[in-house]
């Protein structure tokens, strides 16, 4: 599932291509909005909210609508020159927006819906503070995390109702850099603000092309990109030596709070001792 930095980059690309331009055609390839035509509407802006994309449009009559999308696991927005050949199969396209200067195509979108801009809270109002948002509120995010002290921190960080933007990569890396096992309960994390600050640094450091998290040293301080090292501290590095202590990295799964889904976790058993009763 895309992380907050990926969504931020997608929003920036779409905003640069579409903002201020009038749509010449729209094609929603989902049953609920198949008859909706937005030709003549102007794209005012495209903004990220956690892992969600909000494309705000205005009609000649000053009506306001928002195209809300979520990439989920497989989704992507791509921008092409007018009439450009798509790099993904046409049958996976869910939304096509055309202007005089660009075509924007949303492929395999996990969520695609159109709401009145005044009703955006109905689709993103449940989200916690956005780590990459202009209104990031660390105190509110900590309050939400602390409200369920028994929940594993690795689960709590993925719950977008607590704070928005962290996916599996950054929860694994932030836990490692904080010396906390992902299965440890929130109550065991004495310095949540420091952990969130680390996650925020990681996200902000990767707003450009590509992604690495070894841009930070084990104390969470920026040191620049490190030549010759892998891109991650622990993520997908099972059996490889820890970059801090040399202990082989471990891999496991951690169930969501509802217990309906398991997600991979990676950790160093020396740098992140597991809580009592876990392996």
pLDDT score recorded for residue 205: 85
| Residue 155 and residue 257 in contact, taking contact as beta carbons nearer than 8 Å | yes
> CA angle 17-163-223, nearest 5°?
75
Return the pLDDT at 175. 97
Cβ neighbours of 234 (radius 10 Å) = 28
Does the pLDDT of residue 191 top 80, yes or no?
A: yes
**pLDDT, tens digit (0-9, with 9 covering 90-100), for 113-170:** 999 999 999 999 999 999 999 989 999 999 999 999 999 999 999 999 999 999 999 9
Full-model pTM: 0.86
Give me the pLDDT at residue 3, please.
83
- Sorted by where each starts, the structural domains of the chain and their CATH numbers stand as 4-124 (3.20.190.10), 138-267 (1.10.8.50)
Q: For residue 173, give the 3-state DSSP assignment.
A: helix
- pLDDT tens digits, one per residue of 56-109: 999 999 999 999 999 988 899 999 999 999 999 999 999 999 999 999 999 999
> How much is the pLDDT for 257?
63
Which string of DSSP letters, residue by residue, matches 146-167?
A: HTSTTSBHHHHTT-TTTSBS--
pLDDT-derived band of residue 263, with 50, 70 and 90 as boundaries?
confident
Residues with catalytic function: 2-3, 51, 263
Q: How confident is the model at residue 225 (pLDDT cuts 50, 70, 90)?
A: very low
- Report the alpha-carbon distance of residue 31 to residue 84 in Å, rounded: 25
CA distance 132 to 48: 9
Tokens standing for 111? 């969520």
Percent of the chain surpassing pLDDT 90: 79
Q: How confident is the model at residue 279 (pLDDT cuts 50, 70, 90)?
A: low
More confident site: 277 or 35: 35
Pair of tokens at residue 78: 């791509």
Distance CA 126, CA 115 (A): 16
**Residue 5: per-residue pLDDT:** 87
Q: What is the mean pLDDT of residues 219-241?
A: 68
Asked if residue 228 has pLDDT above 70, the reply is no
Q: At 226, is the pLDDT very low, low, confident or very high (cuts 50, 70, 90)?
A: very low
Least confident of 76-80, 165-169, 208-212, 252-256: 208-212
Confidence band, pLDDT 50/70/90 cuts, at residue 209: low
What average pLDDT is seen over the chain? 90
Count of other CB atoms within 10 angstroms of residue 66: 22
């Amino acid at each position: 599932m895309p992380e907050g930095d990926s969504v931020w980059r997608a929003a920036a690309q779409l905003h640069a291509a579409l903002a201020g331009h009038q749509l010449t055609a729209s094609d929603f390839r989902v049953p609920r909005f198949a008859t909706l035509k937005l030709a003549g509407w102007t794209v005012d802006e495209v903004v990220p909210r956690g892992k969600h994309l909000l494309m705000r449009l205005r009609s000649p009559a000053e009506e306001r609508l928002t195209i809300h999308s979520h990439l989920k696991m497989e989704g992507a927005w791509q921008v092409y020159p007018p009439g450009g050949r798509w790099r993904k199969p046409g049958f996976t396209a869910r939304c096509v927006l055309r202007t005089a200067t660009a075509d924007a195509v949303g492929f395999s979108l996990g969520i695609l819906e159109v709401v009145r801009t005044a009703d955006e809270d109905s689709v993103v109002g449940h989200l916690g503070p956005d780590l990459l948002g202009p209104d990031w509120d660390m105190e509110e995010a900590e309050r939400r995390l602390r409200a369920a002290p028994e929940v594993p921190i690795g689960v709590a960080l993925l719950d977008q109702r607590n704070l928005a933007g962290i996916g599996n990569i950054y929860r694994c890396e932030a836990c490692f850099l904080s010396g906390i096992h992902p299965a440890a309960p929130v109550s065991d994390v004495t310095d949540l603000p420091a952990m969130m600050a680390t996650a925020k640094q990681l996200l902000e450091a990767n707003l450009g092309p590509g992604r690495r998290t070894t841009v930070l040293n084990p104390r969470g301080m920026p040191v620049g990109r490190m030549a010759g090292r892998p891109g991650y501290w622990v993520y997908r590095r099972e059996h490889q030596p820890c970059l801090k202590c040399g202990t082989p990295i471990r891999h496991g799964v951690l169930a969501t709070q509802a217990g309906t889904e398991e997600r991979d976790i990676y950790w160093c058993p020396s740098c992140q001792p597991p809580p009592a009763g876990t392996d």
